Structure formats: structure tokens, C-alpha cells
Copies of this chain bind each other. A is one copy, B any other.
Amino acid sequence: MNSFTLDPALSRDTIEIMKLELCYLGLMNDKRYPWLILVPMRAEMVELIDLQPEDQQQLLTEINQVSHLLQSVFSPHKLNIATLGNMVRQLHIHIIARDQTDPAWPGPIWGIGSAQPYNKDEADSIIARLTTRLMS
């Protein structure tokens, strides 16, 4: 039985873009960076190696899909991909489009300053751009 529920902190901090085959795809509600989160919709996963091999394969496919998405929409200088989970243990993967002008560059983005939430128009606009590209 797969009784997946999204961790409350991930639910609070992200805006749902769509559900992929394996993962919930969310936009981190922080307009300082184009910052997406993939959460495999499997119960009680903490580490990457907790996933079944076929789910790991699908996760890799979705990481590639989201990486290409961010490259095509934002043309970043660098992608950052990470699974940390020190604070939120539910397995989740950060994929962030980094630029040399962003406020944390060249350091990592976690723990730097405070999130700047999108207003509704901004969120609608970026999610529309991402969804359109994902469906194309």
C-alpha cells in the first residue's frame, strides 16, 4: 500500500505545478531563484537508496526532464541538484537554476536570507510558463 502524503513543510513552502508519473513537482515559493522540488510519491522514503530500482529509474528520468525544463525556460549559468533532507526527512530533490547575479551566488542557496514569496500574478505566470513547456 502506498499511503503517500506530502510533508507539511513541503506543502507549505511549495506551489504545486503538476504530478509527474512518480513525483509531485512543486515550485518553491521564493522568487529569488527558479527553484523546483521533486517528491517521489512513495510512503516513508528518506534516502535515495530507499527507492526501488524502477522508481530510481523514473526519478532519474524526471530529474532530467526538470533539468531540461529549467535550462530551456531560464538559461541558467548552472543547475544545482541536491537531496539533503536534514530538516525535512521526506525524500525530496531540489533542482535550482542558478545565475551569477543571484543573491547566494556562488554559494548554495539553503539558509541564505529569507524566502521572497511570489505574488499571485507572478506565481500564475511562472507556473503557466513551466507547465506549457512541460506539456509541449
The reply to whether B56 and A60 contact each other, CB–CB distance below 8 Å, is yes
Chain B residues closer than 8 Å to A135, beta-carbon distance: none
Contacts of A98 in B (CB 8 A): 86
What are the residues of chain B within 8 A of A111 when measuring CB–CB?
107-108
Q: Which residues of B contact A78 (CB under 8 A)?
A: 46-47, 84-86, 89
Residues of B within 8 A of A89 (CB): 78
Q: What is the bound-complex CA distance between A60 and B57, given in angstroms?
A: 9
Residue from the list B47, B82, B107, B110 in contact with A67, Cβ < 8 A:
B47
Q: Is the CB of B80 within 8 A of A86?
A: yes
Q: Hey, which chain B residues are within 8 Å of A87, CB to CB? A: 106
Binding site for B on A (CB under 8 A): 46-49, 56, 60, 63-64, 67-68, 71, 78-87, 89, 98, 105-108, 110-111
Question: Judging by beta carbons under 8 Å apart, are B86 and A107 in contact?
Answer: yes
**How long is the Cα–Cα vector from A46 to B83 in the complex, in angstroms?**
19
Nearest neighbor of A100 in chain B, beta-carbon distance = B86
A87–B112 Cα distance when bound, in Å, is 17
A11 CB to closest chain B CB (Å) equals 20
Complex Cα distance, B76 from A46, in Å, reads 13
A-B contact pairs, 9 of them (CB 8 A): A46-B78, A48-B81, A78-B86, A80-B86, A82-B83, A82-B84, A86-B108, A107-B110, A107-B111
